[in-house]
Amino acid sequence: MSSSDESDFVILANNDLTDYNDAGYLPQKPETLAAIEAWLAPTKYLSENSEYRKHLNSHLDGTGHWFQSSNPYQKWHDSSTVGALWVKAVAGAGKSVLAASTAAKLARDEKVPVLFFFFRQIVALNHEPKYLVRDWLAQLLPHSPWLQSKLKTYVKDSAEIETISLDEMWRHICDALSCMPRAYCIADALDEMDHNNETFLDKLICLGQQKPGNIKVLLTSRPVPRIEILLRSHVS
């Protein structure tokens, strides 16, 4: 092959194919992704002061294996028909540490999208559903060229994110996840979410039922009646 022939080819390595999708959407440029993330205005979910880091740093090596070895977890993880798992325990039992360490382990071991959010009433940006939606979109963005293309349209049109309905943004999460071979979605401390959001709780449950073999939803909460009533009939 001559040097002129070689110039007509681009060599793709394995990593270049990780974002391939049957619909033909190409990954956006880094600067475009940065603009989309800025538009989403997510919480600083990976900062050292984030709820995720705080709970992950509280995890002691060697602990928590009982959870991944338990029958409910194994059924949830391996089953093609069970998509949602609910961890219920009193305050201070270690649910959030368990959620953070599980998120980290799944991301490390399985190399698939792991979306997470930790509700906290005392943290300004951690008690409204809209911030979970923004964080999950930002966390999912690098894995989904389709989502990149969809959200790029909002940025291009200079749309204010506050004018986009929560339902519309949630649909983007569901549609992007539906194309994933496997993804995990973790929502911790549902009892610390603002009250009167039963409709959003229902969305989380339905997400686990959407493609239970591919989309795995892990929820944690204290044993609060308003949450128990909604979750008990749907979640393992």
Is residue 4's pLDDT more than 70? no
Domains (range + CATH), the chain: 27-231 (3.40.50.300)
Q: Is the pLDDT of residue 167 over 60?
A: yes
CA dist 141 and 115 (Å) reads 11
The pLDDT, as a whole number, for residue 233 is 67
Each residue of 104-138: pLDDT tens digit?
999 999 999 999 999 999 999 999 999 999 999 99
Cα distance between residue 198 and residue 203, in whole Å: 9
- Residue 62: the pLDDT is 72
Burial level of 5, CB count in 10 A (0-12/13-18/19+)?
exposed
pLDDT tens per residue, range 208-234: 999 999 999 999 999 999 888 888 766
Q: Higher-confidence residue: 155 or 236?
A: 155
Answer yes or no: is pLDDT of 147 > 60: yes
Confidence of residue 2 (pLDDT cuts 50, 70, 90): very low
Whole-structure pTM value:
0.88
Contacts of 182 (CB under 8 A, 6+ apart): 110, 112, 214, 216
Other beta carbons within 10 angstroms of residue 14's beta carbon come to 6
**To which H or E segment does residue 154 belong?**
helix 145-156
Query: What pLDDT, on a 0 to 100 scale, did the predictor assign at position 5?
Result: 44
Q: Which of 176, 172, 231 is nearest to 206 (CA)?
A: 231
CA dist 29 → 33, 34, 145, 149, 152 (Å): 6, 9, 10, 11, 11
85 bridge partner residues: 218
Other beta carbons within 10 Å of 110: 13
83 is written with which tokens? 């998509």
Q: Which amino acid is at 152?
A: K
pLDDT of residue 235: 64
The per-residue pLDDT for 21 is 58
Pick the range with the lowest mean pLDDT from 17-26, 72-81, 93-102, 161-170.
17-26
Considering the chain, what percentage of its residues have pLDDT values greater than 90?
A: 75
What pLDDT, on the 0 to 100 scale, is given for residue 90? Answer: 86
Whole-number mean pLDDT of the chain? 89
Q: What is the pLDDT of residues 41-56, one digit of tens each?
A: 999 999 999 999 999 9
pLDDT of residue 229: 86
Q: Report the candidate in 27, 184, 26 with the shortest Cα–Cα distance to residue 105.
A: 184
177: pLDDT strictly greater than 90: yes
